[in-house]
Structure 1
């Protein structure tokens, strides 16, 4: 029994309330050493995987419709659905990756397995693209339709197996890349710097994919392009495995949903109990203000301080005063209850980011169509592919992200006193507000482009739509990084990967909401006019894409107002604050004296 357990027993607490923290371990399962494991020297290997994996998946996802339509011979509408479903599935599967990591495998093992699964999918895609006998024929050019459909069936199966191996691997890998890298710092002041570095690696991967790898696919064939994705993914895995001796690994803690379910079951079973006003009467509450603070001062936060929100859930901590031992389904710790409170509290924040990703979906679809209807000439002989406009924000961001970290953060820190310059919630708010102007810029340019086309004036240059990409890129730097930092910082030890996965799940819901909005707007506007609706003519000169953009800008502004309410309502648990940790690390002796006084 260690000193902390002894102190807990002297205070008369239950062993579970005073349980020691679970230390991080190295790849052999031994306790980590501060001077040997973790830190940026370990995280750099994870950042390598982040950049190369993003490079591989972005090169496939952004040009997949070309392969599906031209080589796999699917109809255009079905090809578009295949691409949309693939991207949505990648982001949605991040929840599975977070669950497996936190509950059973740990982030290192999950990343190793899922990285190899993704690599196998890229290899299978490149093999199919290389061998004509593995690609289905074009049934429109073959008289024997029955035989053609049969051939298309099993060859399409190979394609979907390969594609969803990539989706499974990438989806489960994404949240663990972020959380495993952040685990190298725990809750230190360098976390914000790491998240900025991770976003910089993401931008570099996207930029190279949208320029170099897309160019390889266009000029050398999709087989070489998919092979290039497999090669860079292999390099990413080599980078990740190379850092194995230096990683600080967090062991899995069993199902993350069981403790959550126990809180609800216990609270419902004791719903008729009167919740005490004195938290010391709750299970584990008498040490909440003293010993829990000392425990929370360590890098691995294992106990949460009590908060006053959702007091009904506190009933799960009420002890029956008849001397009977209660099961975990009848009696829960304060830490369990507080984690559930955090999960409930972050749901509105998560929901407010869905509209942000709906705007992103427009930039990857309608804005590309805008560019295709404009003058794409850069010089007399050189044309700019409309899809390559998506690289514009990443070119800007590879310069802005370092400037943000080196100039903005130190300046803002002096003003706000916050280590990261502004809090994660403030950072998300800035991004959500800025995203509105991306749609405003898109609407203004589309109106001008459409008027020019209908009046027979000179076609606008494709560079007119660059501002909407630049503005959204700036907003994404704030929103994406702030949201990841927020979810990670507000999760208890053992749930970081799952909560981080909610960030990627927001991308999935944003794309799905975009499909719903397009169908809904088209149905409503077509019923109120003799035309096919704002987006129903398949001709941007006849459609009213500008009005659709204005609508999204209005919805984005309403969403930002909604976010202001929920972000002001949200309260950080103080025991998860880096400033709380550093403050109590420097006052450890004072806290120890407080415990000794309370004996």
Structure 2
């Protein structure tokens, strides 16, 4: 499982090294980035992972004992939450790569995670936010009210967003600090080591505190860990190398689809001279022909009268398909 996650992360970051290798140019040295950022990122990762393990690993017990939810219902809610925070990293990655960049995404979702932990703590200390305690399995247990359910779902939503939006985006930010593939590999080794150590602590120590001392103290420790992690992350801002987002790839895909549909009725036999390969010409195939797979999409690159302007240049839509 973790191996698949590592492949996903490395796939997003492959452009950091391959572009330099193909172009034969040495990466430009920057005053920012490097190993000076390592303690800030790893420290943040430790804090946020403690938070995630502290509430997610003991969620079913929390729902049964604090909200009088039946075990089957609690398991269903836990599975939905698991699916959500497994999907949210994709959303975080898209936002980071296309719009904001890794640093703002990690900072924002770390704060969202903190809000979730504050609500977890309040829900265990303010009696009106949860039903009255009773003997587990008793038919006399009071079910949560609609307001209490709303608070619970809002809490779970914030905590899931915070977990999903930070866990793997912070790994991408960490790898962006290094130019050499070897250094990136070392960082990922420490990243997963920190993740497992944090899980070990949260699954044992924090869960023990929640079950035997009190939920308020357990969630309070998680909230403090979240504050420390967020503060440590923000302190490292002057040292981070922040890679600018390159725009959404889905926009270019949508343009290709629309252009292909618009030119679907054009008939004839076409050669490489009839296709537009971008202003740089880098995308032009060596064989000088269009691709044979998904031929329908080749029509998007066909040059028509409407694609060429009076000065000989091509419309912005044609250029935008290659950016």
Kept after mapping to 2: 8 A contact 1:266/1:332: no
**Quick one: structure 1 residues 109 and 322, their matched pair in 2 at CA, closer, same or farther if it must change by over 3 Å?**
closer
Kept after mapping to 2: 8 A contact 1:102/1:256: no
**CA RMSD between the two structures:** 3.2
**Quick one: structure 1 residues 69 and 318, their matched pair in 2 at CA, closer, same or farther if it must change by over 3 Å?**
same
Is 1:40 the counterpart of 2:39? The answer is no
Match of 1:129 in 2: 124
Is 1:75 the counterpart of 2:70? The answer is yes
Match of 1:310 in 2: 293
Give the TM-score normalised by structure 1.
Answer: 0.43
**Quick one: structure 1 residues 322 and 216, their matched pair in 2 at CA, closer, same or farther if it must change by over 3 Å?**
closer
1: CA distance, partners of 2:202 / 2:34: 28
**Quick one: structure 1 residues 180 and 286, their matched pair in 2 at CA, closer, same or farther if it must change by over 3 Å?**
closer
Match of 1:100 in 2: 95
Give ranges in structure 1 of 5+ residues lacking alignment. Answer: 1-32, 143-147, 291-305, 337-599
Larger displacement relative to structure 2 (56-65 or 156-165): 156-165
Query: How many corresponding residue pairs?
Result: 283
Kept after mapping to 2: 8 A contact 1:97/1:171: yes
Q: Which has the larger radius of gyration?
A: 1
1: CA distance, partners of 2:43 / 2:122: 26
Equivalent in 217, 221, 229 of residue 224 of structure 1: 217
Match of 1:588 in 2: none
Give ranges in structure 2 of 5+ residues lacking alignment. Answer: 1-27
1: CA distance, partners of 2:320 / 2:33: 33
1: CA distance, partners of 2:195 / 2:290: 36
- Counting only pairs closer than 5 Å after superposition, residues 383-532 of structure 1 correspond to structure 2 as none
Kept after mapping to 2: 8 A contact 1:265/1:330: no
Compute the displacement of 1:115 (Å). 0.6
**Quick one: structure 1 residues 219 and 286, their matched pair in 2 at CA, closer, same or farther if it must change by over 3 Å?**
closer
- Counting only pairs closer than 5 Å after superposition, residues 186-335 of structure 1 correspond to structure 2 as 188-271=181-264, 272=266, 278=272, 282-284=276-278, 287-288=281-282, 310=293, 312=295, 313-320=297-304, 324-325=308-309, 326-330=314-318, 333=321, 335=322
**Quick one: structure 1 residues 281 and 260, their matched pair in 2 at CA, closer, same or farther if it must change by over 3 Å?**
closer
2: CA distance, partners of 1:186 / 1:280: 40
1: CA distance, partners of 2:113 / 2:152: 14
Match of 2:6 in 1: none
Report 1 or 2 for greater relative contact order, CA contacts < 8 Å, sequence distance ≥ 6. 2
